[in-house]
Amino acid sequence: MAKVKDILEFFDGIVRPGEFADFGGAYNGLQVGDPGACTDTNLICCAVDAGSYAISKAAEMGAGILLVHHGLFWRAPVPMTGANYSKIAALVKSGMLLYSAHLPLDAHSEYGNNALIAGALGLERIGTCFPAFENDIGALCRPPNGGRAELERRLKELFPNTFKRIAFGPEEPIKIAICSGSAAEAVEAMPQLGIDTMITGEVKEHFYELARDIKVNLYPCGHYATETFGVKALCRAAAEHFGVEWAFIDVDNPL
């Protein structure tokens, strides 16, 4: 068993929620729960999204904490009715705490989605890229020997069900950027940053023609799939540190 407050402090020490700005309305850190009421746990669960399924499953498993990448709060206060009420009610009934780590976990140099994807692909990180809210989100990497063809082989192996290819850039990339989740305006910034290839989660429809226009390679490999890495790594690290069990709740999201 481990003290819940100690696990929360462990998460805060890595995520540093007060030091990393996020989207307006997004909240990083403890979102739901009273650490004083739930003092010990022998199980930490993690999931990408704070959906009803993940919350119910973690509560059923007896987890003391559910760590997620996409939490409950993204904008101004909304009524706690319908699905919102059901999720809050399930958390309160179980006594389980909900902890969210969004952009800080994308960007973290050790536990971040982008750094971990680079490691899983065997790519050497040479820096960061794509500033957002005064912090760089993306990981900048050297291309592998074998160029674009070898990169695509590794991507298909890592993301067998969600790999997509938009290849209008060079066959021998110079700089590869990794930006998990939604690429958003990062695609348009690629030429100015000297980046010719990007691995991401999802792009908008018109980015296909934009990639052709600016002559870059885009690999949207699934928003969900690219953001499973961070919560797993952070949850595993906490579990190993405190000598408790951990579990990832997968929903097999193809998007």
Q: How far is CA 220 from the centre of its chain?
A: 14
| Residue 105 clears pLDDT 90, i.e. is over it | yes
| 3-class secondary-structure state, position 130 | strand
| pLDDT of the residue at 31 | 92
Full strand arrangement of the beta sheet holding 97-100 = 29-32, 97-100, 65-70, 43-49, 245-248
pLDDT band for position 203 (50/70/90)?
very high
| pLDDT of the residue at 18 | 82
* pLDDT tens, residue by residue, 32-76: 988 877 678 999 999 999 999 999 999 999 999 999 999 998 876
| Residue 184 clears pLDDT 80, i.e. is over it | no
d(C-alpha 22, C-alpha 26), whole Å: 6
Tokens read off for 206: 């018109």
* pLDDT tens, residue by residue, 7-26: 999 999 999 988 888 887 78
| 3-class secondary-structure state, position 175 | coil
Tokens read off for 248: 């990832």
- Mean pLDDT on 222-243: 98
Cα–Cα distance list, 108 to 16, 118, 130, 172, 202 (Å): 10, 12, 14, 28, 20
| pLDDT of the residue at 60 | 96
Domains, in order of start, for the chain: 2-101+228-248 (3.40.1390.30), 107-226 (3.40.1390.30)
Q: Give the least confident one: 4-8, 36-40, 185-189, 230-234.
A: 36-40
H helix runs in the chain, sequence order? 4-15, 52-61, 82-94, 103-107, 113-120, 147-158, 186-189, 207-214, 223-226, 229-242
d(C-alpha 59, C-alpha 101), whole Å: 19
| Residue 1 clears pLDDT 90, i.e. is over it | no
In this structure, are residues 53 and 60 in contact, taking their beta carbons and an 8 Å threshold?
no
| pLDDT of the residue at 209 | 97
- Mean pLDDT on 152-162: 98
Instruction: Phi first, then psi: give them for residue 88, nearest 5 degrees.
Output: -60, -45
Of residues 37 and 174, the one with the higher pLDDT is 174
Of residues 73 and 99, the one with the higher pLDDT is 99
